[in-house]
Amino acid sequence: MKNNENTVQIVKAVNEELKQATFIVLAPEEVDLHGDIISENEVRKACYNFNKYSNQANLFHITKTATFEFAESYVSPVDFVLGDVLVRKGTWLATVQVLDDNLWELVKSGEVNGLSIGALASIEEVEPDDN
Amino acid sequence: MTTKTKAKRVLKDVTFEHQGAHIALVSKEQGGPANGHDYALVLKSNGFSKEAIQKMQQVQVTLELPEFLRRFFDMYYTDSEVLARLMGYVPPESNVDEYDSEAWYTERLQSFTVMKSLNESGDLLKALALIDENEYLALLQDQVEVEKAFAKLDAEKKESDSSASAVESENSTNAGVEKSVEPSGSKVRKSKKEIMPTKNENTAEVEMIEKSALVSVQKALEDKQAELEKALASIAQFEAERKEAVIKSKTDQITSVVKDEKIQAAIVKAALSLESDDDFGAFLAAIQAMASAVETSQEFVEKSALFQEQGASTSDVNDSQDSAVARVLKARLAKKV
């Protein structure tokens, strides 16, 4: 016999789907795809600065958007495992609240797959010998 | 996620204070995020895909009829199964039980189907002729069950009605009811073939049988009651006679001991007020002892000198009590004379 209780739960789940996704914004001491690296302290400062002055959501670095907003943005105080990923201490994490069904479908399918900062920063060139 | 790629630049003082600063959601097509973490750590959608949700919603839509009857009408498993099948429900192959339950459902349904078709057919005799032996047997079996249930219900109703008036003779009444119901049950069985012709006749027959059963039960009950009343009257009479005999015997025993008529009545009354025979025996013994003691004391009194009058003779007194002076005086007087 099929379990009717499951059915009830599922209906609720559909109604209460949070449409939230958590991504890594910046990870300290990791070289990114552009060859940039950032210290833990600079990550913490960047996170604080974003929370205080911006909180602005953007889509594809093209346009401001109301299709999602930032639910929370924080720096991990310790190493921990989220999902099946080890998140290092000092990593900047952000949870987005998706407000658009089409965007949510893209997030769930993995088409939209991460967060990227659009900010100003001071850059120090790294001497090749240093690393 | 660390990478062994050598860093070219060190970022410092990241600021979002200027116009247009943002964090963007980026897509796979763009090459994903520059930080290399091109995955969501958590998707708070309870992990159900659209397909999964759709499938599970279909479960709700395709809730099976027996399940529905059980859940919303509190029916028993077998009843819901039978009713559902009667309504046209066909169980999926996976739900078919391994053992004989399927055969049992089929049999139950078969008899209902036959009953239904007989009821709906214009010519019952013709319809009856068309059913095979097994169908007829199933029909009869179901009919027996239904009639038994009716008879039982009726008997219970009668029993509850008559229980108030027959509390004292409960056991005998129950026996009477059982005995009188059973014959009516056998009567019902005998009349099955007659029941078949028409529906109205069938109903009338059942009602007549039920009424006759009721009459016989009531009659049996009245007879038992009359017998019981007679028995109770004879018992009461016997009790009264026995009590009278006991009183007479006790009175005789007391009067044989206590002869004095003045106190006889009081002692008899006191003796009869004693309920147990032992008390009466002890009382009687005490009375006897007292009576014998009284007799003995009377005899003693009669014989004792202390209680006898003893008078003195004057002549003897004079003789014996004359003093010497008196005797001298008497002698002188005699001489003078």
Chain A residues touching B5 at Cβ < 8 A? 31, 35
Q: What is the DSSP letter of A62?
A: T
pLDDT tens by residue, A13-69: 334 478 999 999 999 999 999 999 999 999 999 999 999 999 999 999 999 999 999
| pLDDT recorded at residue B295 | 78
| pLDDT recorded at residue B97 | 55
Cα separation, B181 vs B162, in Å, equals 15
Interface test with A, best of B11, B63, B72 (most A CBs within 10 A): B11
For B152-168, what is the mean pLDDT? 69
B151 pLDDT above the threshold of 50:
yes
Whether the predicted interface score ipTM is above 0.95: no
Q: Which residue of A has its CA nearest to B58?
A: A7
Comparing B13 with B59, the larger pLDDT belongs to: B13
Cα separation, B180 vs B214, in Å, equals 9
| pLDDT recorded at residue B265 | 82
CB contact under 8 A, B22 and A32: no
For B32-48, what is the mean pLDDT? 81
The whole-angstrom distance between A75's CA and the closest CA on chain B is 14
Chain A residues touching B3 at Cβ < 8 A? 30-31
The helix/strand/coil state of B217 is helix
The helix/strand/coil state of A73 is strand
| pLDDT recorded at residue A38 | 95
Report yes or no: B3 and B36 within 8 Å, Cβ to Cβ: yes
The whole-angstrom distance between A101's CA and the closest CA on chain B is 12
Q: Which residue of B has its CA nearest to A123?
A: B11
CB contact under 8 A, A23 and B37: yes
Give the residues across from A23 on adjacent strands. A94
Comparing B191 with B119, the larger pLDDT belongs to: B119
Is B145 buried (19+), middle (13-18) or exposed (0-12) by CB count in 10 A?
exposed
| pLDDT recorded at residue A15 | 40
| pLDDT recorded at residue A39 | 95
> How many alpha carbons lie under 13 Å from residue B190 in its C-beta half-sphere?
7
> Helix B65-73 crosses helix B77-86 at what angle (to 10 degrees)?
130
Closest partner CB to A112 (pick from B20, B25, B53)? B25
Locus of tokens 């009284």: B294
Q: Which residue of B has its CA nearest to A89?
A: B1
B201 pLDDT above the threshold of 60:
no
For B262-280, what is the mean pLDDT? 81
The whole-angstrom distance between B75's CA and the closest CA on chain A is 16
Lowest mean pLDDT among B46-60, B154-168, B293-307: B46-60
Lowest mean pLDDT among B144-148, B263-267, B292-296: B144-148
Closest partner CB to A113 (pick from B11, B28, B49)? B28
| pLDDT recorded at residue B213 | 77
**Whole-prediction pTM value?**
0.38
CB contact under 8 A, B45 and A19: yes
Comparing B59 with B150, the larger pLDDT belongs to: B150
Q: Is B19 left (phi over 0), alpha (psi -120 to 50) or beta?
A: beta
> Helix B277-303 crosses helix B199-257 at what angle (to 10 degrees)?
10
Question: If you write DSSP's letter for every residue of B306-319 in order, what string do you get?
Answer: GGS--PPPHHHHHH
Beta strand A36-38 with B9-15 is parallel
For B245-271, what is the mean pLDDT? 83
Q: Which residue of A has its CA nearest to B24?
A: A58
Q: What percent of chain B has pLDDT over 90?
A: 11
User: A100 touching B, CB under 8 A?
Assistant: no
| pLDDT recorded at residue B47 | 52
Phi, psi of A122 (to 5 degrees): -85, 140
Q: Which residue of A has its CA nearest to B54?
A: A10
